[in-house]
Amino acid sequence: MSLTAKQIPQDAREAVVASTNGYCGVEDCYENGSDWENPIDVHHRCENSINNNAQYPILMQSPFMLIPLCRKHHLDGKVLKSLSYTYKQMRMMENFLQGLVDK
């Protein structure tokens, strides 16, 4: 049984990477994914777990939860931790997005 939930849709991946013009989303990183050995991919700002998807169903699958990263930063646990949202921030964003859906 997998502990991860839904995969990131391809159109969301492309939109997030396009939002930084193909560059890594880490401040002061200028990797742009043009090098096939260091492609840009997206990463959730917090664990894409079944539990998080149950608590934050809209936010977890939204582009706001995603960040484009070069391979170097995608593999760096310290960087990933520094980019994570707190649960308080996630609750606030989920409530905001839920209000938009309810309108």
Query: What does the pLDDT look like over 22-40, one tens digit per residue?
Result: 898 998 888 887 665 567 7
In a domain, 2, yes or no: no
Amino acid, res. 55 = Q
In a domain, 5, yes or no: no
**Structural domain boundaries, residue 81:** 10-102
What is the mean predicted confidence (pLDDT) over 33-50? Answer: 78
In a domain, 63, yes or no: yes
The total domain count for the chain is: 1
In a domain, 3, yes or no: no
In angstroms, the Cα distances linking 96 to 15, 18, 56, 80 are 21, 24, 11, 24
CA dist 63 and 78 (Å) reads 22
In a domain, 4, yes or no: no
In a domain, 41, yes or no: yes
Q: What does pTM read for this prediction?
A: 0.76
CA dist 36 and 42 (Å) reads 15
In a domain, 39, yes or no: yes
In a domain, 84, yes or no: yes
